Amino acid sequence: MTTNTLLAPFNHPFQAPPFNEIQTGDFLPAFEEALKQAKEEVNAIASEDSDATFTNTVEALEFSGMVLSRISDIFFNLNSAETNDEIQKIAQEISPRLAAFSNDVLLNESLFKRVKQVWENRKSVNLSVEQQTLLEKSYLKFVRNGALLDSDGQIRLREIDAQLSKLSLQFGENVLKDTNSFELHITNENDLKGLPNSIKEAASQEAKDRKKEGWVFTLQYPSYVPFMTYAANRELRKQLFMAFSSRGFNHGDTNNEAIVLEIVALKKERAQLLGYTSHAHYTLERRMAESPTRVNDFLDYLLSKSIDAAKRDVQQVQELAIKDGISQIERWDFTYYSELVKQSLFDLDEELLKPYFELDSCINGMFETATKLYKIQFKERNDIPTYHPDVKTYEVLKEGKHVSLFYADFHPRKGKRAGAWMTSFRGQYIQNEEEFRPHVSIVCNFSKPTSSKPSLLTFNELTTLFHEFGHALHGMLAKGSYPSITGTSVFWDFVELPSQIFENWCYEPECLELFAKHYETGETIPNEFIQKIQKSAQFQEGYQTVRQVSFGLLDMSWHQLNEDVPSNVATHEKEHMKAAQVLPDVEGTNMSCAFSHIFQGGYSAGYYSYKWAEVLDADAFELFKEKGIFNQEVASAFQNHILAAGGSEHPMTLYKRFRGQEPDPDALLRRAGLITE
């Protein structure tokens, strides 16, 4: 009998996943066996005869189902980064079963009785801070997932969770299908006016890959964003914009309107079943923000400080568009004319910057930045299997000792969802006195090299690279005992601090001079370019702040519903984004139906956390600026109290330990130039 690769010991260096041996057909039988093992492990804990203790109950539960977790991490990461019809079919089949198993655990009466016993006796035993955190998280996980419900309530909860699992997958698949199914095929070179040569070359290569003449633009970000930024042809900008902004909002099989309403209704019902007013109340109980009121007040405060600036930003762009005979600027015009305004104000052309941001050099630069801050080194490894030839692997070391594996996957392809994210194939933990170091990955969608040029990043893409690597550092430098509270396993509105703070180094000459060198001449980026980057950092911050706040308002509007769910997605969206609207509505477009962050990812009632974390990162980076951006004392404190600490304590406790004070919301507004004090 052939052993399933996913169930056998991983024999590659550092127990890396054997991607070169895994067949898609391995997953379903591996899930079957791993589920069986996990159930047996949980039942053994629940039926233990001796009195419940932290060790034989809470800790044992923490380390149950490790094989299942390993397989799930591999599978669902592939479903995001290298999916296909077969993987998506397995995901649709296995997701409800995983949700059911999770419910089996959390609704296991005997098991909860033992966890509850440990919780009630917690003051009579000597637990470390980390153990206290794990116990609290474990106990509340049961309570927040129906352990106190009667049998009818528990049955309904199981039904809801199974439905939500399938619906979120379907939502994401529909968005991906709409993204992949559209192409803008151009055969007349006049229609490319305004586009930089590098973008035209990439579009030409895309056409050749599709066996077509001319140029092809897609809804993938490296293709879509440059076209919207530089293409002079207004009608084609509109065509591309409409396709992008109507994903999931159409009359075909990929329409997400009914799915959105069903997800929202189920989340509301689930929260109220558990005794909460709304899904937002349920979610925010375990966040730094703690309540919908505090989130709404936070968003309203940011909106009040930025809306006038946003209107001025739009007016500034409108005034330029009028010169081209455009009396009313539309959404497909804004990015194009914004870029022209930016160039006129700062003489800063992204295309002039790109030659200094060659991808491999930028990777080396982010590595060197991390080395200077945290004394870690990166060594490329060619003996670690990957799931696609584009993926590179590195060993992370400190003082010659292994710290982590790091996977880097940078270019778009058909089986990969849009955007950028950090994930892991294994977290950090200690089991049976053996430490298991993490396997961390970042996934982005940067332009591929062409026949004449390497992959060159825009400055925005550079900050995206540093952002995701900040998440990776959070995972790689983890130092704790329990996988559910190490690394990035922190409150959701705290998780963006390590990523967003790392973006700040992209604006600092001391950092840029390490790696920003012209890919042809080797010339270091001129200081005048750096000054322009810094001066332009506050460009249209009013508009950008309002835009992010509008997404947060939309998210909260869907998830703090406590009565009837709206019947019309578009009407609800229009009403609740109105306060932050600075550009005209466009009929036939919709944000909600492609809002994967909140309907497929984990950001439901949590999108505000991007701005929340910007407050944290602006406040924290002020200390680096004060002491020096590579100051070892500050870097060491950030590593010890933020990166290494993970979720071992409440995030505000950790932040104050690092900073010496609670974060100041006005730090963000100062950095954005929206207040002066």
d(CA 604, CA 146): 20
pLDDT of 347 > 90? The answer is no
- For residues 497 and 379, membership in a common domain is answered with yes
The pLDDT of residue 59 is above 80:
yes
Which of 532, 563, 597 is the C-terminal boundary of a domain?
Answer: 532
Domain contains 408: yes
| Same domain (yes/no): 435, 562 | no
Q: Do 264 and 222 share a structural domain? A: no
Could you tell me the maximum CA-CA distance found in the chain, to the nearest angstrom? 82
Position 7 in a domain: no
According to DSSP, the residues that pair with 358 across neighbouring strands are 456
State the residue for tokens 């139906």. Answer: 593
H/E element holding 381?
strand 377-381
Average model confidence (pLDDT) for the chain?
A: 95
Torsion sign over Cα 269, 273, 277, 282 = negative
- Note whether 520 and 615 are same-domain residues: no
In terms of domains, do 360 and 454 share one?
yes
SS3 category, 238: helix
Among the listed residues 504, 442, 488, the one whose alpha carbon sits nearest the alpha carbon of residue 634 = 504
**C-alpha to C-alpha distance for 673 and 666, rounded to whole angstroms:** 10
Do 443 and 497 reside in the same domain of the chain? Answer: yes
User: Are 241 and 331 contacting, i.e. CB atoms less than 8 angstroms apart?
Assistant: yes
In the predicted structure, residue 63 carries a pLDDT above the cut 60: yes
Task: Kindly state whether residue 163 falls inside one of the protein's structural domains.
Answer: no
* Position 266 in a domain: yes
- Residue 395 Cα distances to 67, 234, 439, angstroms: 23, 47, 9
Contact 305, 561 (CB under 8 A): no
Has 468 been annotated as catalytic? yes
Q: Which residue(s) pair with 440 in the sheet?
A: 406, 424
pLDDT 10s digits, 435-475: 999 999 999 999 889 888 999 999 999 999 999 999 999 99
Fill in the DSSP letter of residue 504.
G
Q: Are residues 359 and 495 in the same domain?
A: yes
| Distance in angstroms (rounded) separating the CA atoms of residues 124 and 114 | 16
Question: Quick check: 556 pLDDT over 60?
Answer: yes
Q: Which two tokens stand for residue 219?
A: 């809804």
CATH value at residue 563: 1.10.1370.10
Distance from CA of residue 629 to its chain's centroid?
Answer: 25
**Residue 1, pLDDT above cutoff 60:** no
- Cα–Cα distance for residue pair 635/269, rounded to 1 Å: 45
Q: Per the domain annotation, does 168 fall within a domain?
A: no
The per-residue pLDDT for range 2-53, each reduced to its tens digit, is 689 999 999 999 999 999 999 999 999 999 999 999 999 999 999 999 999 9
Q: Which domain holds residue 659?
A: 247-326+538-677
Same-domain pairing of 203 and 288: no
Last residue of a domain, one of 219, 237, 255: 237
| Beta-bridge mates of residue 439 | 405, 426
Same domain, 394 and 490: yes
Mean predicted confidence (pLDDT) in 599-614? 92
DSSP 8-state assignment for residue 540: T
pTM for the model:
0.84
pLDDT tens-digit readout, 482-533 = 999 999 999 988 999 999 999 999 999 999 999 999 999 999 999 999 999 9
The SS3 call for residue 396 is: strand
Q: Tally Cβ neighbours within 10 Å of residue 125.
A: 12
* Site of tokens 């791993």: 34
521 and 558 part of one domain: no
Boundary residue ending a domain (126, 148, 170): 148
In a domain, residue 47? The reply is: yes
Same domain, yes or no: 526 and 542: no
Residue 218 has pLDDT above 70, yes or no: yes
Average pLDDT over every residue of 339-365: 92
SS3 676: coil
Would 8 be classed as within a structural domain? Answer: no
The domain spanning residue 398 has which CATH number?
Answer: 1.10.1370.40
628, 282 in Cβ contact below 8 A? Answer: no
Exactly one of 41, 130, 461, 468 is catalytic; which is it?
A: 468
Model pLDDT, residue 249: 97
| Predicted confidence (pLDDT) at residue 302 exceeds the cutoff of 90 | yes
Tell me how many domains the chain contains: 4
pLDDT, tens only, 167-204: 999 999 999 999 999 999 999 999 999 999 989 999 99
Q: Amino acid identity of 377? A: Q
Alpha-carbon distance values, 582 to 313, 317, 604 (Å): 9, 12, 24
The domain that contains 133 carries what CATH number?
1.20.1050.40
Q: Let me know whether 451 and 528 are in one domain.
A: yes
Find, among 280, 298, 297, the residue nearest to 610 by Cα: 298
123 inside domain? yes
CA atoms within 13 A on the CB side of 296: 12
Q: How confident is the model at residue 674, as a pLDDT?
A: 94
Quote the pLDDT of residue 103: 87
